[in-house]
Structure 1
Amino acid sequence: MVSTGAVPNLAFRRLRGQRSAGEFAAAVRRSAREIGERVACDARYIGRVESGEIRCPNYAYERVFLHMFPGMSLVDLGFSPRETVRGRAARATTTEIPPPLVFHSESPVLHSDTDEESDVLRRVFMTSGTTVLAAAPLGPGPGGAPAARATAPDRHRVGEAEVSAVESAVRRIRLLDDRHGGDGLYRDASRPLRTAYALLDSGTAARRSTADRLHAGAGELAISVGWLAHDSGRFEDARSHYAEALATARVAGDAALEAHAFCNASFLARDTGRPRESVRAAEAGQRAARPLGSPRLLALLALREAGGRAGFGDRTGCERAIGRARTAFDRGPCDADPEWMTFFREAELEMLEAQCWSALGDWSRAARHARRAIRLQDPHFTRNLALYRAELAWDLARAGRAEEAATAGHRVLDLLDGVRSSRIRTMLAGTTQVLAPRRDAADEVRGYLERYAAVSGVST
């Protein structure tokens, strides 16, 4: 929403110079990657800044802008001082609001950022005449039974507002997942997914470019919702969502979406005890990704392959895949890297390698890589930090280093108030089972077991 008193940011406009808004947005994204930040800047965002709609950027954009223009302050860049726009009323009208995703849930996790969220998705779908679509189930239900399909009203064309809302939903899901994990988000996140596919089924996009963006957005949304299902232990739901994304990619001829769908499908297959399927999916993803020009994407897919090979004991094949991954990763980031890969930094590479050695039973080596992952991880990625610490505890326990495992387990418990991930809790439960026979060996182990029992309600 733009305040009626919005004042154009002429200083920021001058800094853009002769570059188009799209070119400047690309420069912002490149600068963000240079400092390991994650922003989804586009020409529309630049327009909102220059119009004065965004009086003060969020902290991520602040760090990027100050990196781009060394020696300048936010005021020099034409923004208002942060302290002058604090407070709910100010944020609701004139400051930057993060990409929106509307949830309606009793989960405290979903409401933890209420002041930072907007109702754009709901508003867009209501004003475009597609409100009915948000509640209509699409495709087969969880039990495989066919569900009724909805059709968008013919009198409404799908345009920029609808497509932008779908893209914003993807970004918001990813942000909340990074902070909190998938357990509290999955069911609410399914609603915008149903709406996105209903918009696709309506076939009323005004332009081909809009239709392409809608296909890509709907497919990425399916993967994001599938990941929430994956992380919360709903594996069949996840498998269905990933398959839906893959089908969307094939229909649209979207190689980037296809590579992403195969990447997640490989991960799911590994986690559900189907390592050979994991390898096949990873190899298919690499074939789709090669023309895209992103070494980092190829690195991640090679690590997915390595994880699958470790699952059936192919140590040589696993090591070769890890070697390819590290070679590709070392080529560095580039403009062709997909937006969704912002999580894939050196910390994640170390974590995925740790999981490979863990699957091969080399617990001490796995623990070394898990420690590196923890040391390198940005603390803002709370869910991943909890996951890395859970992996470390798991590996240390199996390596016979009970006291160190208990210490790592304590640190996972420290984060579980804000992270709701069945995957992490399952790993921690497995670690606890290994440590239980060592209850009397050390005070640290006994203390951890007692705390775990108190937190989880499960006797050890």
Structure 2
Amino acid sequence: MASSRAVPNLAFRRLRGQRSPGEFAAAVRRAAREIGEQVACDARYIGRVESGEIRCPNYAYERVFLHMFPGRSLTDLGFVARERVRGRGARAAAGAPAPPTPFRNDEESDVLRRAFMTGGTATVAAASLGLGPVPAARAAGRGAGADTLGTIPAPRAGGRFGEFEVAAVEEAVRRIRLLDDRHGADGLYARAAVPLRSAYALLDSGTAARQSAADRLHTGAGELALSVGWLAHDSGRVEDARSHYAEALATARVGGDPGLEAHAFSNTSFLARDAGRFREAVRAAQAGQHAAKHLSSARLLSLLALREAGGWAGLADRAACEEALGRAHTLFGRGASDADPEWMSFFGEPELEFLEAQCWSLLGEPDRAVRHARRAAALNDPDFARNLALYRAQLAADLARDGAPDEAAAVGEQVLDLLGDVRSTRVESMLAETARVLHPHRARPEVAAFLTRRRPVPLQGGA
């Protein structure tokens, strides 16, 4: 709940200690799982709490924080008592009108909270997106949670927008990222296009009440385009991803946002590498480093150096690849900082190892690739289920190429286990390539079991 008189929450900041906002957000998500809660906590949410923008958390966050810090009350954690910020009395005292529609952002509505508790994420999705009932079979399936993306309101009378609408765009970005981490992209992409269109409609037709809102909307819409582009990328829609990334880059340039520009170039480089356009991958990564050079984030520069290394590996330029990898490790070793963008919450040591594994694989050194892919899978944060599937898929492929068919098949079966909850065309295509490499070893029982299980089950004839 924003206020122009926000008072920094120093008590909460002290509780974070030496952890970065992203690291603390991951701890919050882990604590939530321990008590059966689901919260879309990220570095920006922690920043909003510490700045005093969020004066009192919603009920889900309250339960999580009290679980993390037993014996403390909300006021001990630096929050304002709920009755001072919630309800009709608080609004009357502040002289503020009720918001025009209930939106489930960080201060989620009690109506949607009850819907979640009684009907699961699919029920919340239907309510928040205004899509009507979700079919029962789909609601019970693995992709049910992929619908909970939030609602972005239209501009107000006179075409004006402000904090309320901007917060809706930012919340849509958070939800897409959280659900992608848990479920993968395939079940999310089509629905994510809805909030993206709404965000750009606001940007194109609305007038900001304040310049700060206009700036945040530019960034939010661009980040949303990148998130939707990533869903297209991970689900095998290469041209759609390319279009969304270009849209985000244009938004960054118009808004004069170097952080968004660096993010757009990072994703563009990643897509180019996956599509075999290695020279483009190098150029985009280098452009991203140029955009990011004044952002004070060593981790962002490290990731962009890794993107560059992947392009050089695809071009079979070992010396340039090793030089970029060296820069990436040096920058990564400087540690996380508050300047790290919130979208980089995925980028820790596991991702560093995974991206290096890809480089050695492209350079034709599967033994070195195996070492790094094995570390990536072992170190992965359980918050990122899709990444675990990805890292193990890379390990299975590298093991197959390194002459270890039985272990490759065993790891491939672990990936198939994860694909019960994660849908990623990219991961499945990696498994298909592993199956191709393993096919000559199909007489081995372990390999035969993997190949049989991976084979798509044919559709049954109808009655």
Q: The TM-score by the shorter chain falls in which range?
A: 0.7 to 0.9
SS in structure 1 of the partner of residue 145 of structure 2: coil
Correspondence for 1:347: 350
Correspondence for 1:7: none
For residue 260 of structure 1, what is the amino acid of its counterpart?
H
How has the CA–CA distance of structure 1 residues 273 and 103 changed in structure 2, closer, same or farther, with 3 Å as cutoff? farther
CA distance in 1, matches of 2:159, 2:256: 26
How has the CA–CA distance of structure 1 residues 89 and 288 changed in structure 2, closer, same or farther, with 3 Å as cutoff? closer
1:20 aligns with 2:7: yes
The answer to which of 40-49 and 270-279 deviates more is 40-49
1:233 to 223, 231, 236: 236
Correspondence for 1:314: 317
1:444 aligns with 2:446: yes
Q: How far 1:436 moved relative to its partner?
A: 1.3
Correspondence for 1:284: 287
Q: How far 1:340 moved relative to its partner?
A: 0.3
TM-score by length of 2: 0.77
How has the CA–CA distance of structure 1 residues 240 and 22 changed in structure 2, closer, same or farther, with 3 Å as cutoff? farther
CA distance in 2, matches of 1:109, 1:331: 39
SS in structure 2 of the partner of residue 418 of structure 1: coil
1:407 aligns with 2:418: no
Correspondence for 2:361: 358
Correspondence for 1:198: 201
- Tell me, yes or no, if the aligned pair for 1:178 and 1:384 is still in contact at 8 Å: yes
2:114 to 77, 81, 92: 92
1:155 to 147, 154, 158: 158
- Tell me, yes or no, if the aligned pair for 1:103 and 1:110 is still in contact at 8 Å: no
Q: Percent identity?
A: 56
CA distance in 1, matches of 2:249, 2:15: 30
Paired residues for 1:18-417 under 5 Å: 20-21=7-8, 30=19, 32-34=21-23, 37=27, 39=42, 40-41=44-45, 45=49, 50-51=55-56, 53-54=58-59, 56-57=61-62, 59=64, 66=69, 72=71, 91-92=113-114, 102=129, 104=131, 107=138, 108-112=141-145, 121=151, 125=153, 130=154, 155-417=158-420
SS in structure 2 of the partner of residue 155 of structure 1: helix
Deviations 1:95-134 (A, max 9, x none): 9x999974857654442378xx585x25xx1xxxx2xxxx
Q: How far 1:209 moved relative to its partner?
A: 0.6
Deviations 1:15-67 (A, max 9, x none): xxxx92366676677554455546232576576975474365365x567x54x
Q: How far 1:91 moved relative to its partner?
A: 3.5
CA distance in 2, matches of 1:55, 1:232: 31
How has the CA–CA distance of structure 1 residues 406 and 419 changed in structure 2, closer, same or farther, with 3 Å as cutoff? same
- Tell me, yes or no, if the aligned pair for 2:166 and 2:213 is still in contact at 8 Å: yes
- Tell me, yes or no, if the aligned pair for 2:146 and 2:179 is still in contact at 8 Å: no
- Tell me, yes or no, if the aligned pair for 2:149 and 2:175 is still in contact at 8 Å: no
For residue 247 of structure 2, what is the amino acid of its counterpart?
E
Correspondence for 1:453: 455
CA distance in 2, matches of 1:394, 1:94: 39
Count of residue correspondences: 396
Q: How far 1:216 moved relative to its partner?
A: 0.2
TM-score by length of 1: 0.78
CA distance in 1, matches of 2:116, 2:417: 36
- Tell me, yes or no, if the aligned pair for 1:283 and 1:305 is still in contact at 8 Å: yes
For residue 355 of structure 2, what is the amino acid of its counterpart?
L
Correspondence for 2:99: none
SS in structure 2 of the partner of residue 41 of structure 1: helix
Q: How far 1:364 moved relative to its partner?
A: 1.1
CA distance in 1, matches of 2:15, 2:349: 21
How has the CA–CA distance of structure 1 residues 448 and 118 changed in structure 2, closer, same or farther, with 3 Å as cutoff? closer
CA distance in 2, matches of 1:155, 1:89: 29
SS in structure 1 of the partner of residue 158 of structure 2: coil
Give structure 1 stretches of 5+ with no counterpart.
Answer: 2-18, 81-87, 131-151
- Tell me, yes or no, if the aligned pair for 2:265 and 2:284 is still in contact at 8 Å: yes
CA distance in 1, matches of 2:145, 2:434: 30
- Tell me, yes or no, if the aligned pair for 1:21 and 1:43 is still in contact at 8 Å: no
Q: How far 1:312 moved relative to its partner?
A: 0.7
How has the CA–CA distance of structure 1 residues 449 and 62 changed in structure 2, closer, same or farther, with 3 Å as cutoff? farther
Give structure 2 stretches of 5+ with no counterpart.
Answer: 28-40, 83-109
SS in structure 1 of the partner of residue 351 of structure 2: helix
CA distance in 2, matches of 1:118, 1:342: 19
How has the CA–CA distance of structure 1 residues 23 and 264 changed in structure 2, closer, same or farther, with 3 Å as cutoff? farther
